């Protein structure tokens, strides 16, 4: 008993998950829900991935810092039962900005969110603070990251991953020396010779973090990490697995359909992704159905044809309907003879019989009877996106790249 | 309305289900892909507002107890009431197995005595149906009798399998025949009973003296009928007693109908079962699925027709599954063909093996009475080696753990059972 404790140093880790972003880039999908609560992969929510990573890595003290549309997140996480996080010690809790008796504000940025919850860090017995983003899809054993942090002994360790030159403008790019020390950091550079992207996954030494946080420090990268570069106190942990940030409709669509090729992400028996399950009956593939190259959740009824698509629980595809390369969120219904191609349908969307939604076209922004893109993120790269509860009348058309707001009605009802 | 406590009889051997109940109690047998038979009764209980439930187990209860746990999926993990499992136990005065359905209740009479409730509902863990027991309770109150039994209409030709009741205008049962060869009545006892609690306590105390194997159908109901003390509640929904392999197979495949009689697809009132962390169903490009129920956790790369796949089943490339029921985590390897079969949990059908093809008229040699309708049963964790042919009406029960597998082809009606198996 003593030997294990005598020979090895243990880290006691508190996890803080940043989940406060508005996710404006996700357009109609985040009008009513937090970005981290966006459904993903047929039965999950985006945040399930980092929560599952935590419990598989033996981390059981987790605070989720939320502020935008937190109800979706609270409903989903609850007291953490699906992750076995309903515990006597530790567990998961959701923290929103509160009035602390002095001046109260919303979380002004990532570092401010940590600062507003500094008592949590102060009162914790943890010696290490792991800060994660709740809006990323990846499977990572944080024990390896924490081990690296322990061995390098720096104030901060950040997870980094090599990305192709064409992708570098999307990320914070870092230069990493041969001995694993991060020496330079450029946020979303137009072009960069740095090969590694920061993944937004940080490990902090507790005493360092308590010192570094403070009023006016709003951003983790600019205000906490960058000042430490010169002192060579930032270590890099190279991650080689699949990692995708759900930062736009385009990346959401891409990451979703990549699952069809990369299914081990959700089917690995040694690393199951836990979620709040649905209680629906098994999926029903009707007599005339054809389903191929797709992910289909419980409670779906498929009588038409589905290929290259992801169907969430309770989706109905009627006879003669054809769904291709699309993502259909829970309880949506696609009427008979309708065609849905390259589209994302949020929950409770109804597509009338014989309607046409999306298409292979690459038209950017929106048209086809809907409004043009006006808000950030309303660039959909040709993917038609229909908000929660939208209805498309029988025979109506929603063009490629169109955006339909939640509960909007498209087309007039015509007698059949 | 005062509380009604529920006792669920879940101890039967379910011998007629053959290999399916060799390692588990009948209420724990898989049904409809993701459910166990007892889920229907437990779901009915909680939907009817009954959260004090005692489950009486006896025969191989491990998988059943594991499935129901502390009753979390049915919201029965409660401070007051809740779900309790009553196993046969040693007592200060006597100890024995449960010898009959009513004897099982009698052996727990101390529980019954202490309950703070007016009525006791006695159910069976073997039935598939959706019913609001509150209707039954209202009927019971209005009848003014101390006991009621649920009855359903059954087809004329099937009356010999049930207890048949004759009822007068007021709903009181005037005649009750257990499995009559011929009967004019078609009202069959569902084997679910409502009793005034105090009445039941004294009734069991009196009758146990005469019958040590006290049984509701055999002793208690005839006794109450003779005294005119029991009335019949006519339930008009779908109800099925999973009695035989044939009824199990037929009722399962009936779920594939365009409008099945059992309503599994209510979003607002789904049937509740133990949760499962499997990923959603993954279907690859080569797959070809039609007319089937397929659960989360399955991977389909082959052809599936008119079948039910429980969670975690894999159907590999070029494999074909037709008119079959596959329990959790079965694998049908590349090029294998399975037809008219029930394959129990964790079994593997090797590459190019063929299961279930043959002449349905040849009944099984070991259990001809149970298995003569053209279906092959593969028991739990059985490995069928590559290329082996298994006919129809076969019983195959190997064990993966000990490497006991049927090495040669099995003709129609044949059997391969590792270890003991009662005919």
Q: What is the pLDDT of residues A127-164, one digit of tens each?
A: 999 999 999 999 999 999 999 999 999 999 999 999 99
Which run of H or E residues covers position A211? helix A206-212
Is the domain of B246 the same as that of B368? no
Which residue of B272, B281, B287 is in closest CB contact with A279?
B272
Q: For A334, left (φ over 0), alpha (ψ -120 to 50), or beta?
A: beta
Assigned domain for A255 exists: yes
Q: Do B280 and A314 make contact, defined as CB atoms within 8 angstroms? A: no
Which residue of B258, B271, B276 is in closest CB contact with A277?
B276
Chosen domain end from A267, A293, A321: A267
Interface test with A, best of B36, B259, B260, B280 (most A CBs within 10 A): B280
- Which chain A positions have a beta carbon within 8 Å of B258's beta carbon? 286-287
pLDDT attached to residue A102? 67
Is the domain of B386 the same as that of B292? yes
- Which chain B positions have a beta carbon within 8 Å of A82's beta carbon? 275, 277
Could you give the ipTM of this predicted complex?
0.88
Is the domain of B368 the same as that of B226? no
pLDDT tier at A3, thresholds 50, 70, 90: very low
Assigned domain for A272 exists: no
Assigned domain for B154 exists: yes
Residue B402 has pLDDT above 90, yes or no: no
More confident residue, A86 or B420: A86
- State the Cα–Cα distance between residues A222 and A319, nearest whole angstrom: 55
Is the domain of A299 the same as that of A205? no
Q: Do A294 and B283 make contact, defined as CB atoms within 8 angstroms? A: yes
- State the Cα–Cα distance between residues B47 and B67, nearest whole angstrom: 19
Is the domain of A36 the same as that of A163? yes
Is the domain of A263 the same as that of A288? no
**What is the mean pLDDT of the segment spanning A4-22?**
74
pLDDT attached to residue A10? 62
Chosen domain end from B224, B254, B284: B254
Chain B within 8 Å of A304 (Cβ-Cβ)?
A: no
CATH code assigned at A405: 2.160.10.10
Assigned domain for A275 exists: no
Interface test with A, best of B275, B296, B312 (most A CBs within 10 A): B296
Is the domain of B161 the same as that of B47? yes
Assigned domain for A274 exists: no
Is the domain of B297 the same as that of B392? yes
Of A14, A34, A45, which is closest to residue A273 (Cα–Cα)?
Answer: A45
CATH code assigned at B301: 2.160.10.10
pLDDT attached to residue A24? 80
CATH code assigned at A92: 3.90.550.10
Residue B74 has pLDDT above 60, yes or no: yes
Is the domain of B166 the same as that of B200? yes
- State the Cα–Cα distance between residues B377 and B285, nearest whole angstrom: 30
Is the domain of B157 the same as that of B280? no
Nearest Cα residue in chain B from A82: B277
Assigned domain for B259 exists: no
Assigned domain for B265 exists: no
Angstrom distances, CA of residue B250 to CA of B240, B256, B325, B374: 11, 10, 11, 12
Chain B within 8 Å of A348 (Cβ-Cβ)?
A: no
Which residue of B270, B277, B280 is in closest CB contact with A296?
B280
Range of the domain at B176: 4-254
Is the domain of B60 the same as that of B148? yes
Number of domains in chain B: 2
Is the domain of A163 the same as that of A23? yes
Which residue of B272, B283, B295 is in closest CB contact with A298?
B295
Which residue of B32, B265, B282 is in closest CB contact with A295?
B282
Assigned domain for B186 exists: yes
Q: What is the pLDDT of residues B148-167, one digit of tens each?
A: 999 999 998 888 889 999 99
Chain B within 8 Å of A250 (Cβ-Cβ)?
A: no
Q: Do B291 and A287 make contact, defined as CB atoms within 8 angstroms? A: yes
Assigned domain for B245 exists: yes
Q: Do A290 and B288 make contact, defined as CB atoms within 8 angstroms? A: yes
Is the domain of B19 the same as that of B130? yes
Is the domain of B212 the same as that of B314? no
| Residue partners of B334: CB distance under 8 A and separation at least 6 | B302, B316, B317, B318, B319, B351, B352
Is the domain of B246 the same as that of B314? no
Q: Do A297 and B265 make contact, defined as CB atoms within 8 angstroms? A: no
Assigned domain for A213 exists: yes
- State the Cα–Cα distance between residues A28 and A241, nearest whole angstrom: 30
Assigned domain for A415 exists: no
Chosen domain end from B221, B254, B287: B254
pLDDT attached to residue A412? 66
The pTM for the full model equals: 0.90
Helix (H, G, I), strand (E, B) or coil at A146: helix
Angstrom distances, CA of residue A149 to CA of A7, A202, A210, B198: 18, 10, 17, 68
Range of the domain at A322: 284-410
Q: What is the pLDDT of residues B29-43, one digit of tens each?
A: 999 999 999 999 999
**What is the mean pLDDT of the segment spanning B365-383?**
95
Assigned domain for A277 exists: no
Using an 8 Å Cβ cutoff, are A127 and A155 in contact?
Answer: no
Of A155, A144, A171, A145, which is closest to residue A229 (Cα–Cα)?
Answer: A155
pLDDT attached to residue A4? 41
Is the domain of A35 the same as that of A174? yes
Location of structure tokens 């299961």: B355
Q: Do B279 and A280 make contact, defined as CB atoms within 8 angstroms? A: no
Chain B within 8 Å of A204 (Cβ-Cβ)?
A: no
Assigned domain for B120 exists: yes
Nearest Cα residue in chain B from A306: B283
pLDDT attached to residue B99? 84
Among residues of chain A, what percentage have pLDDT more than 70?
A: 91
Is the domain of A223 the same as that of A345? no
Assigned domain for A329 exists: yes
Which residue of A43, A287, A288 is in closest CB contact with B280?
A43
Q: What is the pLDDT of residues B281-318, one digit of tens each?
A: 999 999 999 999 999 999 999 999 999 999 999 999 99
- Which chain B positions have a beta carbon within 8 Å of A83's beta carbon? none
**What is the mean pLDDT of the segment spanning A20-48?**
89
Is the domain of A89 the same as that of A196? yes
- State the Cα–Cα distance between residues B200 and B123, nearest whole angstrom: 15
Assigned domain for B178 exists: yes
Which residue of A41, A277, A292 is in closest CB contact with B285?
A292
Is the domain of A221 the same as that of A168? yes
CA dihedral of residues B51, B57, B61, B63 (deg, nearest 10): -20
Q: Do A293 and B283 make contact, defined as CB atoms within 8 angstroms? A: yes
Which residue of B33, B73, B289 is in closest CB contact with A285?
B289
Is the domain of A261 the same as that of A294? no
- Which chain A positions have a beta carbon within 8 Å of B272's beta carbon? 279
- Which chain A positions have a beta carbon within 8 Å of B33's beta carbon? 281-282
Is the domain of A227 the same as that of A293? no
CATH code assigned at B237: 3.90.550.10
Is the domain of A32 the same as that of A134? yes
**What is the mean pLDDT of the segment spanning B259-266?**
87
Residue B246 buriedness (CB in 10 A; 0-12 / 13-18 / 19+): middle
Interface test with A, best of B35, B128, B279 (most A CBs within 10 A): B279
pLDDT attached to residue B209? 81
- Which chain B positions have a beta carbon within 8 Å of A292's beta carbon? 283-288
Q: What is the pLDDT of residues A277-314, one digit of tens each?
A: 888 999 999 998 999 999 999 999 999 999 999 999 99
Is the domain of B235 the same as that of B293? no
- Which chain A positions have a beta carbon within 8 Å of B295's beta carbon? 282-283, 298
Assigned domain for B376 exists: yes
Chain B within 8 Å of A331 (Cβ-Cβ)?
A: yes
Number of domains in chain A: 2
pLDDT tier at B92, thresholds 50, 70, 90: low
More confident residue, A416 or B302: B302
Is the domain of A215 the same as that of A119? yes
Chain B within 8 Å of A39 (Cβ-Cβ)?
A: no
């Amino acid at each position: 008993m003593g030997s294990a404790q005598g020979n090895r140093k243990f880290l006691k880790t508190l996890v803080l998950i940043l989940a406060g972003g508005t996710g404006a880039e996700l357009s109609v999908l985040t009008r009513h829900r937090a970005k981290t609560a966006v459904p993903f992969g047929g039965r999950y929510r985006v945040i399930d991935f980092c929560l599952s990573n935590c419990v598989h890595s033996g981390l059981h003290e987790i605070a989720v810092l939320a502020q935008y549309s937190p109800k979706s997140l609270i409903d989903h996480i609850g007291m953490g039962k699906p992750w076995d996080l309903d515990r006597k010690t530790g567990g998961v809790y959701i923290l929103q900005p509160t009035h602390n008796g002095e001046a109260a504000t919303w979380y002004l940025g990532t570092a401010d969110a940590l600062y507003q919850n500094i008592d949590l860090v102060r009162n914790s017995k943890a010696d290490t603070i792991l800060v994660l983003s709740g809006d990323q899809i990846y499977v990572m054993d944080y024990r390896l990251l924490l081990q690296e942090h322990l061995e390098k002994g720096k104030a901060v360790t950040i997870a980094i991953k090599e990305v192709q030159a064409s992708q570098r403008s999307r990320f914070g790019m870092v230069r990493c020396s041969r001995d694993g020390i991060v020496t330079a950091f450029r946020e979303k550079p137009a072009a960069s010779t740095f090969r590694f992207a920061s993944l937004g996954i940080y490990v902090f030494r507790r005493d360092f973090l308590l010192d570094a946080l403070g009023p006016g420090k709003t951003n983790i990268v600019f205000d906490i990490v960058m000042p430490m570069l010169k002192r060579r106190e930032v270590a890099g942990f190279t991650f080689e697995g699949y990692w995708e940030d759900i930062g736009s409709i385009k990346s959401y669509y891409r990451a979703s359909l990549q699952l069809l090729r990369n299914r081990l992400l959700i089917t690995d028996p040694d690393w199951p992704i836990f979620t709040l399950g649905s209680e629906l009956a098994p999926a029903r593939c009707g007599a005339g159905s054809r389903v191929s190259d797709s992910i289909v959740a419980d409670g779906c009824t498929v009588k038409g044809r589905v290929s290259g698509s992801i169907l969430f629980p309770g989706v109905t595809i009627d006879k003669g309907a054809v769904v291709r390369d699309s993502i259909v969120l829970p309880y949506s219904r696609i009427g008979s003879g309708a065609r849905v191609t390259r589209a994302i349908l949020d929950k409770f969307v109804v597509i009338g019989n014989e309607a046409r939604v999306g298409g292979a076209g690459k038209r950017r922004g929106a048209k086809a009877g809907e409004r043009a893109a006006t808000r950030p993120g309303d660039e959909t790269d040709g993917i038609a996106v229909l908000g929660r509860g939208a209805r498309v009348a029988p025979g109506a058309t929603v063009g490629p790249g169109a955006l339909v707001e939640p509960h909007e009605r498209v087309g007039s009802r015509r007698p059949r | 309305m005062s509380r009604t406590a529920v006792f669920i009889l879940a101890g039967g051997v379910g011998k007629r289900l053959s290999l399916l109940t060799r390692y588990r109690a009948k209420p724990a047998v898989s049904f409809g892909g993701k459910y166990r038979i007892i889920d229907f009764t437990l779901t009915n209980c909680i939907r009817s507002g009954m959260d004090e439930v005692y489950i009486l187990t006896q025969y191989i209860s491990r998988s059943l107890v594991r499935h129901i746990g502390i009753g979390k999926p049915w919201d029965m993990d409660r401070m007051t009431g809740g779900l309790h499992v009553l196993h046969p136990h040693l007592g200060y005065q006597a100890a024995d197995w449960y010898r009959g359905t009513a004897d099982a209740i009698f052996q727990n009479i101390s529980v019954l005595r202490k309950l703070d409730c007016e009525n006791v509902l006695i159910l069976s863990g073997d039935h598939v149906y959706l019913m609001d027991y509150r209707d039954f309770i209202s009927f019971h109150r209005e009848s003014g009798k101390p006991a009621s039994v649920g009855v359903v209409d059954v087809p004329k030709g099937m009356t010999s399998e049930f207890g048949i009741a004759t009822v007068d205008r007021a709903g009181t049962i005037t005649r009750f025949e257990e499995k009559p060869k011929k009967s004019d009545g078609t009202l069959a006892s569902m084997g679910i009973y409502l009793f005034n609690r105090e009445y039941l306590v004294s009734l069991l105390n009196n009758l146990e003296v005469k019958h040590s194997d006290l049984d509701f159908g055999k002793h208690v109901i005839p006794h109450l009928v003779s005294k005119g003390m029991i009335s019949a509640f006519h339930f008009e929904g779908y109800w099925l007693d999973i009695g035989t392999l044939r009824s199990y197979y037929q009722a399962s495949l009936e779920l594939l109908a365009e409008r099945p009689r059992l309503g599994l697809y209510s979003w607002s009132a789904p049937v509740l079962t133990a949760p499962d962390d499997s990923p959603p169903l993954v279907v690859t490009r080569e797959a070809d699925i039609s007319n089937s129920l397929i659960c989360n956790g399955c991977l389909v790369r082959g052809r599936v027709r008119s079948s039910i796949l429980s969670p975690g089943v894999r159907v590999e490339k070029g494999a074909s599954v037709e008119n079959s029921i596959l329990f959790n985590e079965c694998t049908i390897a590349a090029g294998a063909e399975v037809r008219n079969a029930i394959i129990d949990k964790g079994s593997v059908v090797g590459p190019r093996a063929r299961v279930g093809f043959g002449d349905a008229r040849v009944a099984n040699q070991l259990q001809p009475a149970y298995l003569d309708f053209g279906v092959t049963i593969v028991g739990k964790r059985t490995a069928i080696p590559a290329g082996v042919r298994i006919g129809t009406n076969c019983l195959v029960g190997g064990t993966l753990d000990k490497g006991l597998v049927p090495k040669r082809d099995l003709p129609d009606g044949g059997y391969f059972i590792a270890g003991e198996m009662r005919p």
